[in-house]
Amino acid sequence: MQFMLLFSRQGKLRLQKWYVPLSDKEKKKITRELVQTVLARKPKMCSFLEWRDLKIVYKRYASLYFCCAIEDQDNELITLEIIHRYVELLDKYFGSVCELDIIFNFEKAYFILDEFLLGGEVQETSKKNVLKAIEQADLLQENSPSIVLNYCR
Amino acid sequence: MSDIVEKTLTALPGLFLQNQSVGGPAGVKTSFSSRLGGLVRGITALTSKHEEEKLIQQELSNLKATVSAPTTTLRMMRECMVRLIYCEMLGYDASFGYIHAIKLAQQGNLLEKRVGYLAVSLFLHENHELLLLLVNTVVKDLQSTNLVEVCMALTIVSQIFPREMIPAVLPLIEDKLQHSKEIIRRKAVLALYKFHLIAPNQVQHIHIKFRKALCDRDVGVMAASLHIYFRMIKENSSGYKDLTGSFVTILKQVVGGKLPVDFNYHSVPAPWIQIQLLRILGLLGKDDQRTSELMYDVLDESLRRAELNHNVTYAILFECVHTVYSIYPKSELLEKAAKCIGKFVLSPKINLKYLGLKALTYVIQQDPTLALQHQMTIIECLDHPDPIIKRETLELLYRITNAQNITVIVQKMLEYLHQSKEEYIIVNLVGKIAELAEKYAPDNAWFIQTMNAVFSVGGDVMHPDIPNNFMRLLAEGFDDETEDQQLRLYAVQSYLTLLDVENVFYPQKFLQVMSWVDASLSFLDGFVAEELSQGAAPYKPHHQRQEEKLSQEKVLNFEPYGLSFSSSGFTGRQSPAGISLGSDISGNSAETGMKETNSLKLEGIKKLWGKEGYLPKKEGKTGDETEALPVPQESIIMENVDQAVTKKDQCQVLTQSKEEKEKQLLASSLFVGLGSESTINLLGKADTVSHKFRRKPKVKETKSGETTSAHSMTCSYFSSSSNATYEDDYYLDALQDRGDKELNKFSLNSELLDSESLTELPSVEKLSNCKLSSSPSLFTDNNMEGFHPSQSTAPSVAPETSLASSLLEETSEHMHSELVEVCHNETISVSSYKIWKDDCLFIVWSVSNKSGLELKSANLEIAPAENFKITEQPGCCLPVIEAESIKTFQYSVQMEKPFTEGNLSGFINYQMMDTHSVQLEFSVNLSLLDFIRPLKISTENFGKLWLSFANDVKQNVKVSESQATLPSALKTLQQKLRLHVVEIIGNEGLLACQLLPSIPCLLHFRVHGDVLALWFRSSCSALPDYLLYQCQKVMEGS
């Protein structure tokens, strides 16, 4: 995967994760163009989009669009499932997730994403394991250092 | 004063935050009152972009003051960092905070560190100079006893890490591969994957450890290692064939539901792992029958098991289909896969329909009948409201374009072009249209009109090769002078009409083309002058351009055929197949700069479905030549037949609605010339054409049978000799059938070879069958010697009559070397010779007992050698050699690693009269050339392979005058190096060979004066160098 963008129906960016090195200028340009293109699509249209030499796979959940860029030889359908799995993870973590959860806790959304996808590849396919990793990190942070250290060793 | 107040204010929310429960499902909704929450709400309340900008700038300047204030605690810093990330996401510059993100990762406690690392990963890219400052922190955290810190460090490394600092952390990460916690092992594998991507050389030494990861007891670790294997196998599949069994076993277990239920996704077992494994198998089985056979069963099972009607099942099915069509074909599987594609294509779900089209596009050249089956769906998709469906349909049509359906297809493409606004699409599409027009144009008027459309829409963005090539065509013309005149006249007339239209603006490049063409017409002088003043290229007479071309030859022609239109300048109208790929490249390089090096161009290739969707041979070999003629005779005949059949069709469908009829008509004009019969069409047997779009199920059945066999033939680049002979003969006949007209055209293409030698060129392929006695003559001087490796002695039947009988039977069928004595004593003499079989090297040692006594316990052994795999062939059973008799020992030798020269040593021992045992040692020299075999591929496949290979070597070799002609250079390369001549274009040649068992190597060469410019490419990094060395040796030696 080359990058993942989350944006609202109004075109506001909610999350961006880039797995390929690009300049800020390029990132902005790509984001602007893509948000425009995706928002202009009609609901019954295909979830895939050819864009430059990339494939865009997108899906809308309530007011939020999830949008991934993959290479042409990658599997579009499984990318849709990656998006869905991410939404499942967010949902489980936040408890029926809504756009506001992601806006106000976007760093959490990033942490979850980083436990699921790493460097653009699926890191862990078991939902249980991903959530365990997140909760462990959260828990440790909440506790006092001595307990943390004991727990870890 | 206000500064201090501001700082206090900024610090307050941070202080509040301390008391909040942060993180954890329960606490997350409470952070609304945070400073970030305030900012978010503030922005949401605003109505104009201008207000937002003001607010954010204010926020940023506050943040700037806070982060650089010495009183700011790490806890406050963490909160600031979150806001900075937010501002950057909104598109504002927060670069002043980058250094603080690094500091936070360095100094903070776990909570702060986590945010610090996150900010770093979001702010910086892997070439950012600040990233170097993070290295020490990463090293420290990797050594931490705290699991969470190690995890964070591994996570950041897997995302961004400066390439040059890899050695600083590599040993630490390697250690983590043995860590007791699976999450650490998994992240370590992914970190190494990242390193493999950015600096493959640095992790080469740990390949063994990757194997351990593949066998890890934890599924997550195993799955992570698949990412590395996918990359490595993609780069060099031959190095990992031995793992095929393991991948198959893993896939079997996954498909069979043997993994923990945790890995199920909507009750489908580990779909991500399944798909990754399928992709790996596809790479491993490509062009490799033996490897493919290992996976047939599991693919069959995967196709069978994936039956749930869920998106994820379709994802697996799709990958399965792709793999089945990538590997060495098996008809049962192909049948099932084709059915699957049908399910996709006919699905009412638009996503599945799209993928069905994509799959069709991928398999279309292997199996054109599949397109015929779905022609009505394809027609419907052509008018689909979703542009992406339309575009994929056009891509599909582009791949089945031929001389008969070109006008309809190009018309559809032009329609789409006129609606497109995105530059990338326009560049891509005009490239394709121009390529098709040049290849298959039915007549002059159509050609000029089409090119006019191309220039007027794409003129500003298109690759410069398109106008250049077009002007060259106009200038040089073809063999028919009147035809050429008409073409030029028509062009000029059409331009005058276009220029007459008022208030229309044409792109600069189009005007350049017009002014160049019309330069001889005085009444356009004013216009031309204006254009010239705008920097248009002035007209140059033909000879002048030729001279310029020659003087620029180094620049222009040193590019590979197909990558550059200009390099095909000598070929007349016939364009090498590579151009079809070239057009995609043009699209990209127009954006990224014109003068890119070749390696950059490779990136631009639209990797539609990987490498192997290739044209059936008919198009590659016979198609180009016939269709290059302005109006091929065959196609006229065929058009007539087409019309007749269309009428028939019309009668049958009288009851259908008008709309249906239109679709039927469109279908018959689009799918003309598809199916396996088209090979015959082109050879002039027009009577079979009528089968083409008669859609009777019976015909379809027989056709699919034929296709399968044709498929199995073309599917393997390394087709067996019997197939090759068949094809060659076919081609030869075809050429002769077509008679003199074609030959004349041929001769135009080459200044060096006369037409006679060209007709015989295809027979070159026969030589590779190594039938010594009947080597057909290749060149007029007819002193063909057959192939032999570096030794200059011609192979021949064994010279020693006493040993002649010992030559194996199969020797007569294959090329072999002379029998050479390798060692002897008073009792025995050991000789050996090599047989260059198609798939391996055979070495035969023949031991002759000169004495009058029986030798007992005779045993010959070959010592294991580093680079070779030596297998004894059955044959020598009794350890006894009777008096005055000969016994042979045969070994097959496979090379495991490319090398230039090698040695095989061994010994023979025997006992005489129950007395002492005697041992004699010997050795045999092996050269790389012993393992090189001709690779029979079409020009298309050559072009595709060429672009897919990353390793190349270029060298100019000076040769003696006698060598500096194309025929003699060709002959040398063919005979001494066993290269297969794929095509000759002017003074350039394309040759191909393979290193056994199946590493292809391609050679592009051109003769220029007494310099031979050689350019090798291969999938194996060492092979080009070695071959170049051998090439230089034979060129200088002869």
Residue B502 pLDDT greater than 80, yes or no: no
Question: Average pLDDT of B965-984?
Answer: 80
Which of B46-60, B82-96, B744-758, B995-1009 is predicted with the least confidence, judged by mean pLDDT? B744-758
- Tell me the nearest-neighbour CA distance from A62 into chain B, angstroms: 18
pLDDT band at A13 (very low <50, low <70, confident <90, very high): very high
Rounded to whole angstroms, how far apart are CA atoms A47 and A35?
Answer: 14
Look at phi and psi of residue B256 and say left if phi exceeds 0, alpha if psi is from -120 to 50, else beta. alpha
Question: Average pLDDT of B314-334?
Answer: 92
Task: Looking at mean pLDDT, say which of A118-127, B273-282, B512-521, B727-736 comes out highest.
Answer: B273-282
Q: Give exposure, B36-55, as e/b (b: 16+ Cβ within 10 Å).
A: bbebbeebeeeeeeeebeee
- Tell me the nearest-neighbour CA distance from B665 into chain A, angstroms: 28
Q: What residue of B is the nearest CA neighbor of A23?
A: B125
What's the confidence (pLDDT) of residue B543? 54
Residues 6+ apart with CB under 8 A from B58: none
Residue A98 pLDDT greater than 80, yes or no: yes
What's the confidence (pLDDT) of residue B765? 38
Rounded to whole angstroms, how far apart are CA atoms B179 and B165?
Answer: 23
Is B260 near chain A, with CB under 8 Å? yes
Give me the torsion for CA of B984, B985, B986, B988, rounded to 10°.
-70
Query: Pick the residue with more confidence: B438 or B533?
Result: B438
Chain A 32-91, CB below 8 Å of chain B: which residues?
Answer: 42, 44-53, 71-73, 75-78, 80-81, 85
Question: Closest to A48 (Cβ–Cβ): which among B91, B318, B351?
Answer: B351
B187–A95 CB contact, under 8 Å: no
Question: Average pLDDT of B576-587?
Answer: 36
Number of helices followed by number of strands (H, E) in chain B: 47, 17
Residue A35 pLDDT greater than 80, yes or no: yes
Q: What residue of B is the nearest CA neighbor of A15?
A: B89
**Whole-model pTM?**
0.58
Query: Pick the residue with more confidence: B516 or B245?
Result: B245
Q: With the C-alpha atoms ordered B539, B543, B547, B552, is the resulting torsion angle positive or negative?
A: positive
Is B254 near chain A, with CB under 8 Å? no
Is B145 near chain A, with CB under 8 Å? yes
Residue B630 pLDDT greater than 60, yes or no: no
Question: Average pLDDT of B290-318?
Answer: 89
Rounded to whole angstroms, how far apart are CA atoms B569 and B552?
Answer: 12
Tokens of B390: 């339309």
What's the confidence (pLDDT) of residue B554? 37
- Tell me the average pLDDT of chain B: 71
What's the confidence (pLDDT) of residue B471? 76
Question: Closest to A107 (Cβ–Cβ): which among B115, B385, B424?
Answer: B115
Chain B 858-877, CB below 8 Å of chain A: which residues?
Answer: none
Query: Pick the residue with more confidence: B47 or A104?
Result: A104
Rounded to whole angstroms, how far apart are CA atoms B1021 and B552?
Answer: 31
* Cis peptide preceding B630, ω within 30 of 0: no
What's the confidence (pLDDT) of residue A52? 84
Query: Pick the residue with more confidence: B144 or B609?
Result: B144
Tokens of B926: 């092996």
B68-119, pLDDT tens digit by residue? Answer: 888 888 888 888 999 999 999 988 988 999 999 999 999 888 888 999 999 9
B24–A139 CB contact, under 8 Å: yes
In order of A46, B365, B681, B709, the CA distances from B723 in angstroms are: 43, 19, 21, 11
Burial class of residue B258 (count of CB atoms within 10 Å of its CB; 0-12, 13-18, 19+): exposed
Whether residue A128 contacts residue B262, with contact meaning beta carbons closer than 8 Å, is answered with yes
B355-401, pLDDT tens digit by residue? Answer: 999 999 888 878 778 888 888 888 888 888 888 898 888 888 888 88
B118–A152 CB contact, under 8 Å: no
Residue A50 pLDDT greater than 60, yes or no: yes
Residue B920 pLDDT greater than 80, yes or no: yes
- Chain B hits for A114, Cβ within 8 Å: 118, 121, 155, 159
Task: Looking at mean pLDDT, say which of A56-70, B102-116, B384-398, B891-905 comes out highest.
Answer: A56-70
Rounded to whole angstroms, how far apart are CA atoms B691 and B676?
Answer: 10
Q: What residue of B is the nearest CA neighbor of A128?
A: B262
Encode B754-779 in three state secondary structure.
Answer: CHHHHHHHHHHHHHCCCCHHHCCCCC
Q: With the C-alpha atoms ordered B1022, B323, B229, B947, is the resulting torsion angle positive or negative?
A: positive
Counting Cα atoms < 13 Å in the Cβ hemisphere of B267 gives 6
Burial class of residue B842 (count of CB atoms within 10 Å of its CB; 0-12, 13-18, 19+): buried
- Chain B hits for A145, Cβ within 8 Å: 109
B25–A13 CB contact, under 8 Å: no
- Chain B hits for A105, Cβ within 8 Å: 28, 31
What's the confidence (pLDDT) of residue B674? 64
Is B309 near chain A, with CB under 8 Å? no
Nearest to B962 by CA among B972, B975, B974: B972
Counting Cα atoms < 13 Å in the Cβ hemisphere of B319 gives 27
Rounded to whole angstroms, how far apart are CA atoms B118 and B130?
Answer: 15
- Tell me the nearest-neighbour CA distance from B229 into chain A, angstroms: 13
For residue A67, report the phi and psi dihedrals to the nearest 5 degrees. Answer: -140, 120
> Strand A54-61 to strand A64-70: parallel, antiparallel, or no bridges (unpaired)?
antiparallel
- Tell me the average pLDDT of chain A: 86
Is A8 near chain B, with CB under 8 Å? no
DSSP B83: H
Which of B160-169, B340-349, B783-792 is predicted with the least confidence, judged by mean pLDDT? B783-792
What's the confidence (pLDDT) of residue B813? 60
What's the confidence (pLDDT) of residue B548? 53
Whether residue B1021 contacts residue B597, with contact meaning beta carbons closer than 8 Å, is answered with no
Question: Average pLDDT of B922-929?
Answer: 84
Q: What percent of chain B has pLDDT over 70?
A: 67
Interface test with B, best of A68, A84, A89, A104 (most B CBs within 10 A): A104
A148–B424 CB contact, under 8 Å: no
Rounded to whole angstroms, how far apart are CA atoms B441 and B434?
Answer: 10
Residue B224 pLDDT greater than 80, yes or no: yes
Give me the torsion for CA of B504, B508, B510, B516, rounded to 10°.
120
pLDDT band at B173 (very low <50, low <70, confident <90, very high): very high
Amino acid at position B670, single letter: L
For residue B672, report the phi and psi dihedrals to the nearest 5 degrees. Answer: -65, 140
Which of B424-428, B675-679, B935-939 is predicted with the least confidence, judged by mean pLDDT? B675-679
Is A146 near chain B, with CB under 8 Å? no
Is B348 near chain A, with CB under 8 Å? no
Q: What percent of chain A has pLDDT over 70?
A: 91
- Interface A-B, measured as beta-carbon pairs within 8 A, has a size of 194
Number of helices followed by number of strands (H, E) in chain A: 6, 7
Which of B260-274, B550-564, B663-677 is predicted with the least confidence, judged by mean pLDDT? B550-564
In order of B644, B659, B691, B735, the CA distances from B654 in angstroms are: 16, 12, 20, 42
Is A153 near chain B, with CB under 8 Å? yes
Residue B589 pLDDT greater than 50, yes or no: no
Tokens of B605: 């290739």
For residue B793, report the phi and psi dihedrals to the nearest 5 degrees. Answer: -70, 135
Task: Looking at mean pLDDT, say which of B507-521, B536-550, B962-976 comes out highest.
Answer: B962-976
Whether residue B184 contacts residue B154, with contact meaning beta carbons closer than 8 Å, is answered with yes
In order of A39, B351, B780, the CA distances from A43 in angstroms are: 10, 12, 69
Q: What residue of B is the nearest CA neighbor of A85?
A: B265
Chain A 85-124, CB below 8 Å of chain B: which residues?
Answer: 85, 93-95, 101, 103-108, 110-111, 114, 118-119, 121-124
B801-839, pLDDT tens digit by residue? Answer: 334 344 444 455 667 777 888 888 888 888 888 888 877
Place of tokens 């640095």: B202
- Chain A hits for B82, Cβ within 8 Å: 106-107
A101–B29 CB contact, under 8 Å: yes
Place of tokens 């007479």: B541
Place of tokens 């059973």: B877
Residue B569 pLDDT greater than 80, yes or no: no
ipTM over 0.90: yes
The angle subtended at Cα B943 by Cα A53 and Cα B388, nearest 5°, is 25
Place of tokens 């290849």: B439
Q: What residue of A is the nearest CA neighbor of B91?
A: A28
What's the confidence (pLDDT) of residue B817? 79
- Tell me the nearest-neighbour CA distance from A66 into chain B, angstroms: 15
Burial class of residue B774 (count of CB atoms within 10 Å of its CB; 0-12, 13-18, 19+): exposed
The angle subtended at Cα B515 by Cα B514 and Cα B519, nearest 5°, is 120
- Tell me the nearest-neighbour CA distance from B524 into chain A, angstroms: 40
Place of tokens 């196709």: B303
Question: Closest to B145 (Cβ–Cβ): which among A106, A142, A153?
Answer: A153
- Tell me the nearest-neighbour CA distance from A100 into chain B, angstroms: 9
B388–A138 CB contact, under 8 Å: no
Question: Closest to A105 (Cβ–Cβ): which among B28, B219, B354?
Answer: B28
Residues 6+ apart with CB under 8 A from B672: B402, B404, B405, B638, B642, B692, B693
Nearest to B813 by CA among B768, B771, B764, B765: B771
- Chain A hits for B431, Cβ within 8 Å: none
Whether residue A28 contacts residue B91, with contact meaning beta carbons closer than 8 Å, is answered with yes
Rounded to whole angstroms, how far apart are CA atoms B686 and B677?
Answer: 10
B319–A106 CB contact, under 8 Å: no
Question: Closest to A75 (Cβ–Cβ): which among B223, B263, B275?
Answer: B275
Kindly write down the DSSP assignment for every residue of B591-656, as one continuous string.
Answer: HH-SS--HHHHHHHS--TTSS-----HHIIIIIHHHHHSSS-HHHHHHHHHHHHHHHHHHHHTTTS
Give me the torsion for CA of B772, B777, B782, B785, rounded to 10°.
-30
- Chain B hits for A141, Cβ within 8 Å: 22-23, 110-111, 114
Query: Pick the residue with more confidence: B203 or B776?
Result: B203
Question: Closest to A46 (Cβ–Cβ): which among B145, B314, B389?
Answer: B389
Rounded to whole angstroms, how far apart are CA atoms B855 and B910?
Answer: 6
pLDDT band at B656 (very low <50, low <70, confident <90, very high): low
Interface test with B, best of A3, A51, A70, A122 (most B CBs within 10 A): A122
Rounded to whole angstroms, how far apart are CA atoms B392 and B413?
Answer: 11
Q: What residue of A is the nearest CA neighbor of B603?
A: A53
Whether residue B786 contacts residue B796, with contact meaning beta carbons closer than 8 Å, is answered with no
Is B143 near chain A, with CB under 8 Å? no
B224–A123 CB contact, under 8 Å: yes
Which of B182-186, B716-720, B810-814, B852-856 is predicted with the least confidence, judged by mean pLDDT? B716-720
Question: Closest to B23 (Cβ–Cβ): which among A17, A126, A142?
Answer: A142
Question: Average pLDDT of B438-462?
Answer: 80
Largest CA distance in chain A: 55
Q: What residue of B is the nearest CA neighbor of A53?
A: B606
3-state secondary structure of B876: coil
What's the confidence (pLDDT) of residue B878? 61
Question: Average pLDDT of B504-529?
Answer: 62
DSSP B561: B
Domains of chain A plus CATH, in order, are: 3-143 (3.30.450.60)
Residues 6+ apart with CB under 8 A from B419: B387
